[in-house]
Amino acid sequence: MFVEQLYTGCLAQGAYYIESEGEAAIIDPLRETTPYVRKADKAGAKIKYIFETHFHADFVSGHLDLARKTGATIVYGPNANTAYEVHKATDGEVFKLGNVWIKVLHTPGHTLESTTYLLIDENGKDQAIFTGDTLFIGDVGRPDLAIKGDLTERDLAGMLYDSLHTKIMPLADDVIVYPAHGAGSACGKNMSKETTDTLGNQKMFNYALRAKSKAEFVEQVLEGLSKAPAYFAQNARLNKEGYEPIDQVMQRGTQALSPVEFEAAVNETGAVMLDVREAADFANGFVPNSINIGLNGQFAPWVGALIPDLKQPIALITPAGLERETIVRLARVGYDQCIGYLEGGFLAWQQADKEVDMIESISADTFAERLKQQPDALVIDVRKPTEFEPEHVEGAENLPLDTLNEHLAQIPRNETVYVHCAGGYRSMVANSILKARGFDQIVNVEGGLAAIRKTDIAVVATPAVNH
């Protein structure tokens, strides 16, 4: 028996490859299927099953393409109604894979169809659980994403408590927990940077498993949940109803466009121009009205948060050699309408004598000097409220990046606005959006709060409110 976690940092997502005696199963695969097929081919194994723990909301699963290419059976747990053919398993059903078994444990709560898969070895010993979004390392799945009909988030939280206490916690302490996500995912609020652990450790250290009652569990799990990203519901729908084959998406997106063709295609389709270069490179010059979301960050989730329509045409500006990777990473979250990329990148645009825009970007030390000269200058911090409240520049206004488009009316157009985040990634995203919306007096603060702390700028906490 062989088990491998295939972890993707951008999405903080774990897919799994299980192999025994020439038969393989994939759990929660990402959109691109080639890595799974190659791994099985190299081992001389046949992919027999594709197990889905639930209808994922934060990424588009690769189950349909993988099934088409390998003939594997897609397996969901109870309550999973799809628009395509699957094996809808019953609670307790067992699947044989080589000389091991995979048992279905229906664990509703995160969603109604959420299912945990228990791996049992050739000796009948429970080895591991693949928990999807039911149980994370340090947390449990949020119960507010699948509210339907008369069900409330409290109802789902209660179901989650029952699932954990009747299906998972009775298992032995040495059972290994393999979750679908780790720190950085919006599917939970308190996930560890560790991507696997023993169930015994989780019983001791996971706050949600230590709750003394169902009522306490419900309160703890619902407390402090952030707003779900806008694209979550659309991704869940694609996973339930189906989507375009990845090969077609790649063929359309990998069209190389000259600067003239690129400009014409954008004008014709209304495409968003998405520049995925580093923030510093973008600041020094970019195609006017393009948006910067760098590949070297949580690229796909930020695209999902800031481009609300999955069907929005997108034209890419990338570093040389990263065109295909960018298209794949967009497809992972359902953005399939990439119309092509600027051949030769931004340099080709410059060499064609096309118009170029820039964003003023200053060091934290320069920012400090300017604040001394103009203490009442408007400073916008685009971090999350939970980051802003413990420490922020005195007098700064908090406009989180994921809500920026909703608050443009609050930002003056006729005065200088300084924008920063924690380290510089999100502030350039924000500045690119503002620039494209006609804000011409924006200034980026390089290095964000991490750099600002090293200056003599006053950093304060939001005063506690007494109720």
Which residues does the annotation mark as catalytic?
A: 421
Contact 134, 168 (CB under 8 A): yes
Say if residue 103 is exposed, middle or buried (CB neighbours under 10 Å; 0-12, 13-18, 19+).
Answer: middle
Residue 193 sits at the vertex; the CA angle it makes with 60 and 24, to the nearest 5 degrees, is 50
Residue with tokens 């809500």: 403
Q: Which of 149, 140, 105, 130 is nearest to 218 (CA)?
A: 140
Q: Are strands 73-76 and 272-275 parallel, antiparallel or unpaired?
A: unpaired
* CA angle (457 as vertex; 455, 463 as ends), nearest 5: 135
Q: Please say whether the beta carbons of 41 and 34 come within 8 A.
A: no
Residue 262 token pair: 């690129």
What are the tokens at 263?
């400009």
Interior/surface letters 149-177, b for 16+ CB within 10 angstroms, e for the rest: eeeebbebbbbbbebbeebbeebeeebeb
What are the structure tokens assigned to 247, written together? 């090969």
The closest alpha carbon to 341, from 311, 313, 315, belongs to 315
Q: How many helices (H) and strands (E) does the chain have?
A: 16, 24
